[in-house]
Amino acid sequence: MTELNDQQKRDFEAAAFRRLVEHLRERSDVQNIELMNLAGFCRNCLSNWYREAANAEGVDLSKDQSREIVYGMPYADWQALHQTEASDAKKAEFEARRPKDH
């Protein structure tokens, strides 16, 4: 296996993050509740993790700012353009699997 130095790891992790964010922006048809039910995380989780990392480094990033980084637009705009009402079945599945922090 190729040994990576810390800078390479950071660069590759950043590239993978950027690709994930790009992919999630392209797949606006996939709802957050579907991501949560299948993968246990969603766009909001990703934006929270981003904000937590920034805050841990002393950068005061708000929830709205981190969401805009992940969504590529203000969250309210994304909701208006892409969010649909979840079915009762999806809501029930979410509640059954709901992590403590959601």
pLDDT at 89: 93
Nearest to 47 by CA among 67, 30, 61: 67
**Domain architecture of the chain: domains with CATH:** 30-97 (1.10.3340.10)
pLDDT at 84: 94
- The rounded distance, in Å, linking the Cα atoms of 36 and 71 is 16
pLDDT at 44: 97
- Does this model's pTM top 0.85? My answer is yes
Over the chain (102 residues), what is each successive 10-residue block's mean pLDDT? 95 97 97 95 97 97 98 97 94 84 62
**C-alpha dist (Å) from residue 89 to 31, 37, 40, 72, 95:** 14, 11, 16, 29, 10
pLDDT at 88: 93
